[in-house]
Chains A and B, each alone.
Chain A
Amino acid sequence: MIASLVVVLPFAGAVLGLLLPRHPHGRSPADNLAANKRAAWFGVVPTALSTALVGWLAWENTPSTSVLTKIDTGGIAITVGLEVAELSVLTAMLVGVVALAVQVYSVGYMRGESRYPSFSAFISLFTSAMLLVVFAADLLVLYVGWEIMGLCSYLLVGHWWEERANSRAAIKAFLVTRLGDVGFLFGIFVLGFAAGSFRIADIMAADIPEPTLVLATLLLLAGVAGKSAQVPLHTWLPDAMAGPTPISALIHAATMVAAGIFVVARLYVLFPQPTLDVLGVAAAIGMLGAALAAFAQNDLKRVLAYSTISQLAYMAAALAGGARDAAVFHLVTHGAFKALLFLCAGAVIHHVGSNLLGHMGGLRRSMPVTFTTMTIGYAALIGLPPASGFFSKDAILYGLERSSSPIQLVLYGSALLTVGVTGAYATRAWLMTFFGTGKIQALPEPAPGTAHVFDGREAPLSMLWPMGVLAVPALLLGFTDAGEFHLAPAVTALAVALLGAAFVYVIWRGAPERDPARLLGPFRDPCEQAFYVDRLYAAVFVRPVLALARGVVRTDDDVVDGAVRATGRATVGLSGLTRHLQNGNAQLYVTGVLAGVLLIAVGAVVLG
């Protein structure tokens, strides 16, 4: 019951936030402010209540299932119900806290923006959908939440729709994930029909033959790869950074993209070794490639986006290597520190008026709070003790080290290399943002993708508070699981990470004005373009489909409808042969009639 309240509260907030703030109608700036204020209440209060309820669930700590109703579809019934388990409560806690932080943060970030009410309502809707995914007891109910998250992602990435690029990014995000989701849906069918039920508990208990399981989980992986931005469906995530920064923090760093990992962890017993191997290969490629791409990016948010892909691949690798708990642990810590990083990045962008690293520099004096919190975030990302990332990465590396997976070496090697590259790109971004000399130029008006121009001050309190609050778990969350700490992998990882960081520092130290990414030499361009995957997809999928579409329109007009029109013309043409008989001379007609009568009479006499 509480779980359903947890899901419904943000949904109600979304509905109210969409419908009510604009009453009475008005679009003057004063009305906008009033509407925003009302909308902020609708956004923050339900999320806060919901988070509090999740907290209560966590404190109660009793697994339970509540079934609301069954939908009889004529085949296998759909069970509308929610299931509370340890994993779901943990993930829900993460979702609730980050969503709350982002809602509060957006109040400041979107101040005076006329479309703030819909913005906060969509965040509420997203929160509700994500919580539905987390608590769903039935795969099809999970799918409902899964898709609604995709829609919210689309709507929020396209929030500043005046800019064509944002609109395109939104479409790409939705379509790429939807492509994966079709596979996901088919995977659900395979599992559901094999088990005779779509309930997760029933499916996990059912005795399904291995080939079916492999097929089903591979199909599920398509959806997971889409949502969690794993190779080969990762291309939408960097573009999705066109959305407002709070959205990047919530949806594209902490929660929605983690949903794929969550689903694999939730259904982990169903995943046979072959599927995990496929997941492992994709993860191994993804984590290293994305980390390299992150090193070469010039846009702060894109750095963080590629970092997200890389870190999600970490979790996927842990799952592939059999270290499920480590993956979940990293999911939670990553959610905290990556959300923190994005919120800090938002503050920086807010302050500078540009996303580009080249426009930043020397910000540590003018933004002391942001500097501190963001440093914590980077420390966690690199895996420096005592930040949370240190512990979770350690757990993953330990798991991979002792994994029995046939591709254990690939996974472990790739993970270790990635640790080094992570250290490098995080250090590069940190140095280029906060150190060196300031290069801020005041822009006459907000650049696309930013809400404000440079005003030379630290961010407002409503933005600083969430950052401060998130910095606590980003720093300390690791100690909740410190009992599982293993020294050897930790030291190895720390050494590798520090090596990467030190390398970048030395390069940067030599010429603080120049981008350390020059270290990559001729590989810089491929890395910056993320190895041209986007161009490949455009050439292989997008353009052929568009050409096919134009071909269909032509065919439809020329062939299908052409046949119809030709039928009409043929009928008219045939009648043209006989119409000349109707020449207007009535006597000719009568002659014809007479001839006909004679013919019939003769025929009757002869044949009769």
Chain B
Amino acid sequence: MHVVYPAVVAALLFSVGVYGVLARRNTILVLMSVELMLNAVNLNLVAFDVWLRDVLHSGQVLTLFVIVIAAAEVGIGLAIVLAVFRTRKAIELDRLRELGEP
């Protein structure tokens, strides 16, 4: 398989993720979009690892790292979302503006 197919798929996935991060108001959906972006990167890493025939398979190793970190990130992220929802009764991103300049 030519490397261009996974690369295009990854780019599409990443773009969907970016769109989600920038445009969605729901915090959980934004977190999911972040996951999409991470997975797009993972796909790229694996694809190029195979294409370049890396002896050390550093692409695949890195992918494992990313998956672990993503898991931790989602855990913390969801915990924050939960805490915010408990205190504010809202998870819409554009309503959480306490840190903005008045």
B97 in contact with A584 (CB, 8 Å)? yes
A585 in contact with B101 (CB, 8 Å)? no
B101 in contact with A586 (CB, 8 Å)? no
Give every chain B residue within 8 A of A583 (Cβ-Cβ). 97, 100-101
Any chain B CB within 8 A of the CB of A591? Answer: yes
A587 in contact with B21 (CB, 8 Å)? yes
Interface of chain B residues 14 through 45 with chain A (CB within 8 A) = 18, 21-23, 30
Any chain A CB within 8 A of the CB of B93? Answer: yes
Question: How many residues on the B side are at the interface (Cβ–Cβ under 8 A)?
Answer: 13
A584 in contact with B96 (CB, 8 Å)? yes
Any chain A CB within 8 A of the CB of B1? Answer: no
Chain B: minimal CB distance from A581 (Å)? 8
A586 in contact with B22 (CB, 8 Å)? no
Q: How far is the CA of A591 from the CA of B93 in the complex (A)?
A: 14
Any chain B CB within 8 A of the CB of A30? Answer: no
Give every chain A residue within 8 A of B23 (Cβ-Cβ). 587
B101 in contact with A582 (CB, 8 Å)? yes
B100 in contact with A594 (CB, 8 Å)? no
A579 in contact with B101 (CB, 8 Å)? yes
Interface size class on chain A is 10 to 19
Any chain B CB within 8 A of the CB of A23? Answer: no
Q: How far is the CA of A186 from the CA of B93 in the complex (A)?
A: 78
B22 in contact with A580 (CB, 8 Å)? no
Against A, the Cβ 8 Å flags (1 = close, 0 = not) of B84-102 are 0000000001101111110
A587 in contact with B18 (CB, 8 Å)? no
B100 in contact with A584 (CB, 8 Å)? yes
Give every chain B residue within 8 A of A585 (Cβ-Cβ). 93-94, 97, 100
B101 in contact with A587 (CB, 8 Å)? no
Give every chain B residue within 8 A of A586 (Cβ-Cβ). 93, 96
Give every chain B residue within 8 A of A584 (Cβ-Cβ). 96-101
Chain B: minimal CB distance from A520 (Å)? 81
A594 in contact with B22 (CB, 8 Å)? yes
B94 in contact with A587 (CB, 8 Å)? yes
Q: How far is the CA of A590 from the CA of B20 in the complex (A)?
A: 11
Q: How far is the CA of A590 from the CA of B18 in the complex (A)?
A: 9
Could you say which of A582, A587, A590 contacts B100, with CB atoms under 8 Å apart? A582
Against B, the Cβ 8 Å flags (1 = close, 0 = not) of A562-589 are 0000000000000000011011111100
Chain B: minimal CB distance from A61 (Å)? 92
Give every chain A residue within 8 A of B94 (Cβ-Cβ). 585, 587
A-B contact pairs, 21 of them (CB 8 A): A579-B101, A580-B101, A582-B99, A582-B100, A582-B101, A583-B97, A583-B101, A584-B98, A584-B99, A584-B100, A585-B93, A585-B94, A585-B100, A587-B21, A587-B22, A587-B30, A587-B94, A590-B21, A590-B22, A591-B22, A594-B22
Chain A residues engaging chain B, CB cutoff 8 angstroms: 579-580, 582-587, 590-591, 594
Chain B residues engaging chain A, CB cutoff 8 angstroms: 18, 21-23, 30, 93-94, 96-101
Question: What 20 additional pairs, Cβ within 8 angstroms, besides A583-B100, A587-B23?
Answer: A579-B101, A580-B101, A582-B99, A582-B100, A583-B97, A584-B96, A584-B97, A584-B100, A584-B101, A585-B94, A585-B97, A585-B100, A586-B93, A587-B21, A587-B22, A587-B30, A587-B93, A590-B21, A590-B22, A591-B22
- The 7 A-B residue pairs whose C-beta atoms are closest, nearest first, are A584-B100, A584-B97, A579-B101, A583-B100, A582-B101, A585-B94, A591-B22
